[in-house]
C-alpha cells in the first residue's frame, strides 16, 4: 500500500486530483492532505478515507511514496526539497519546477517521450493540460501527413489562476449587472464580458506566464517529432475549460476522412455534428479533448484538403489531474518493492 501526500489539497487542482485518484488503482493508498494556514482543519475525503487537512510540518513527508504539489508555486518551492529528502517521489502540478535541473515534464499519453524518468530524476512536472492537448492533436495529425504550419489561439479560463480568480470573475459579473464598481485584485482589469490578451500592471494572475509555460511544456513533449506552434494566449470570461482555435497547413493534400480517422481514438473525441460543437461547457468533466474539424473554405476538391481549422475544448482541471495520476502510475516502477536482502 502506498502513502500519498497532496500539498495544496484545498485548491481547485487538489480537489480534482482527489476525485480522480478515488477512481484509480491508487484509491487504496493512505493519504496525507496538506495545505497552508487558511485551509487547516478542513474535513476532506479521498476514496473511502476521511481525513483532515494538516499543516506542512517537519515530518509531513515521512514515509510518503508520492507527493503531489497542487498549490501555489511558492508552496512548491518552499517544500519540494523537504519531500525529496524524505524519499518521496515529487510530482509538481504547480509548474514551479519545470526549469529546475534534471526535472522532467511528462505526459504518458504522448508516445515515444524524449526522456524517461529514472532513479536520479529529482521531480516530475505533469505537462500543462493545454500543452498536453496540443501535443496530442499534433501527434495524431502527423499520422495522416506532415504539418507545414500550425497556429493556435488558446483561451484560458478563470480556474487557470485559482479560486480567487473565479470569485473575482463572478463578482465582476454581478457588479456590472448592478452598475457597481469592479473588484480588480487578481486581474487588475475587467475580465467579465471581455476577452484579454494582457492583464493590468498590478494583476496577480499572468497570461504571459501561462503562455510561456504552455510553450515550454509543448516543446518538452514535442522533442524533434512534433511541429512548432505559433501560439497566442487569451484570457476568456469563463470559469472552466480550455478552448483552442487551431489553423493547420499540411505538406500535401489529405482526404478529409483520413484526417477524421487520425483525430479519433484514445483521448480525442471527434465531433462530427454542428449541433454538438466542442465548448468549455461540453468538456466539463470529460477525460478526452473534444475536437471539430473543418477544411478551409474555397478549396477546389471537397473530399481532400491541405488547410484546415480545428476547434477544440478540454476540461483543464480534469486533464491536469488525469495526467498527474498517469505520471504517478508510470513512476511506480521506480518505487522499491518488498525487502532488500
CATH number at residue 65: 3.40.50.720
In a domain, 251, yes or no: yes
Domain check: are 194 and 281 in the same one? yes
The confidence score (pLDDT) of residue 299 equals 55
Residue 229 in grid coordinates: 506552434
* Count of all residues that appear for the chain in the document: 341
Looking at the structure, tell me whether residues 226 and 311 fall in a common domain. Answer: yes
The pLDDT, as a whole number, for residue 148 is 96
Q: How much is the pLDDT for 45?
A: 64
Q: According to the model, what pLDDT value does residue 274 have? A: 75
Same domain, 200 and 309: yes
pLDDT at 337: 60
Closest alpha carbon to 4 in 33, 25, 24: 33
Asked if residue 253 and residue 150 are part of one domain, the reply reads: yes
Helix pair angle (316-331, 12-22), 10° resolution = 60
- 307 lies in some domain: yes
- How far out from the chain centre does Cα 108 lie? 13
Ranges under pLDDT 50 in the chain: 338-341
Residue 247, domain CATH: 3.30.360.10
Question: Pairing state of beta strands 43-46 and 104-106?
Answer: unpaired
The reply to whether 113 and 175 lie within a common domain is no
pLDDT of residue 259: 95
Note whether residue 279 is domain-resident. yes
143 within a domain of the structure (yes/no) = yes
**How many other C-beta atoms are found inside a 10 Å radius of the C-beta of residue 84?**
15
Question: Would the pTM of this model clear 0.85, i.e. be above it?
Answer: yes
Q: Is residue 339 part of a domain?
A: no
CA-to-CA dists, residue 271 to 129, 176, 265, 268, angstroms: 20, 35, 12, 9
Total count of domains within the chain: 2
pLDDT, position 14: 94
Enclosing domain of residue 98: 3-126+321-334
Q: Are residues 106 and 142 in the same domain?
A: no
Q: Is 341 domain-assigned?
A: no
Q: What residues have CB less than 8 Å from 64, skipping those under 6 apart? A: 3, 4, 5, 32, 83, 86, 87, 88
229 and 118 inside one domain: no
Q: Cα dihedral sign for 46, 129, 336, 99? A: negative
Same domain, yes or no, for 200 and 286?
A: yes
Closest CA to 133 of 2, 304, 261, 323: 323
Query: Is the domain of 194 the same as that of 112?
Result: no
Residues 163 and 298 in one domain: yes
| One domain, residues 287 and 273 | yes
10 with 111, same domain: the answer is yes
Order the strands of the 49-54 sheet from edge to edge: 43-46, 49-54, 30-34, 3-7, 66-69, 89-92, 124-126, 104-106
What is the spatial distance between Cα 150 and Cα 143, in angstroms, rounded to a whole number? Answer: 15
Contact between 68 and 5 under an 8 Å Cβ cutoff? The reply is: yes
Within a domain: residue 302?
A: yes
**pLDDT by residue (tens digit) across 17-65?**
999 999 999 998 999 999 886 666 565 667 666 677 788 888 999 999 9
| 340 in any annotated domain | no
Amino acid at each position: 500500500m502506498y502513502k500519498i501526500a497532496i500539498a495544496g489539497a484545498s485548491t481547485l487542482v487538489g480537489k480534482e486530483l482527489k476525485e480522480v485518484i478515488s477512481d484509480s488503482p491508487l484509491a487504496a493508498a493512505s493519504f496525507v492532505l496538506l495545505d497552508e494556514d487558511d485551509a487547516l482543519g478542513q474535513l476532506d475525503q479521498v476514496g473511502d478515507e476521511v481525513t483532515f487537512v494538516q499543516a506542512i510540518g517537519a515530518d509531513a513527508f515521512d514515509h510518503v511514496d508520492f507527493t503531489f504539489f497542487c498549490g501555489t508555486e511558492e508552496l512548491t518551492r518552499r517544500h519540494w526539497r523537504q519531500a525529496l529528502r524524505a524519499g518521496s517521489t515529487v510530482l509538481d502540478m504547480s509548474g514551479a519546477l519545470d526549469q529546475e535541473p534534471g526535472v522532467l515534464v511528462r505526459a504518458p499519453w504522448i508516445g515515444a517521450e524524449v526522456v524517461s524518468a529514472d532513479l536520479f530524476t529529482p521531480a516530475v512536472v505533469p505537462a500543462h493540460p493545454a500543452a498536453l492537448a496540443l501535443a496530442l492533436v499534433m501527434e495524431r495529425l502527423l499520422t495522416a501527413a506532415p504539418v507545414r504550419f500550425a497556429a493556435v489561439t488558446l483561451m484560458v479560463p478563470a480556474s487557470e489562476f485559482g479560486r480567487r480568480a473565479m470569485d473575482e470573475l463572478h463578482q465582476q459579473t454581478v457588479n456590472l449587472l448592478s452598475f457597481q464598481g469592479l473588484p480588480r485584485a487578481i486581474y487588475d482589469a475587467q475580465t467579465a464580458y471581455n476577452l484579454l490578451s494582457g492583464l493590468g500592471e498590478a494583476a496577480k494572475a499572468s497570461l504571459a506566464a501561462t503562455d510561456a509555460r504552455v510553450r515550454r511544456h509543448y516543446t518538452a513533449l514535442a522533442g524533434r517529432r512534433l511541429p512548432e506552434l505559433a501560439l497566442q494566449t487569451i484570457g476568456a470570461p469563463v470559469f472552466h475549460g480550455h478552448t483552442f482555435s487551431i489553423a493547420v497547413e499540411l505538406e500535401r493534400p489529405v482526404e478529409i476522412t483520413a484526417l477524421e480517422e487520425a483525430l479519433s481514438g484514445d483521448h480525442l473525441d471527434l465531433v462530427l455534428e454542428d449541433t454538438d460543437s466542442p465548448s468549455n461547457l461540453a468538456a466539463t468533466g470529460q477525460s478526452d479533448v473534444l475536437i471539430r474539424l473543418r477544411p478551409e473554405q474555397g478549396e477546389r476538391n471537397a473530399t481532400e484538403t491541405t488547410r484546415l481549422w480545428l476547434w477544440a475544448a478540454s476540461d483543464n482541471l480534469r486533464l491536469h489531474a488525469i495526467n498527474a495520476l498517469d505520471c504517478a502510475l508510470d513512476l511506480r516502477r521506480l518505487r522499491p518493492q518488498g525487502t532488500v536482502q
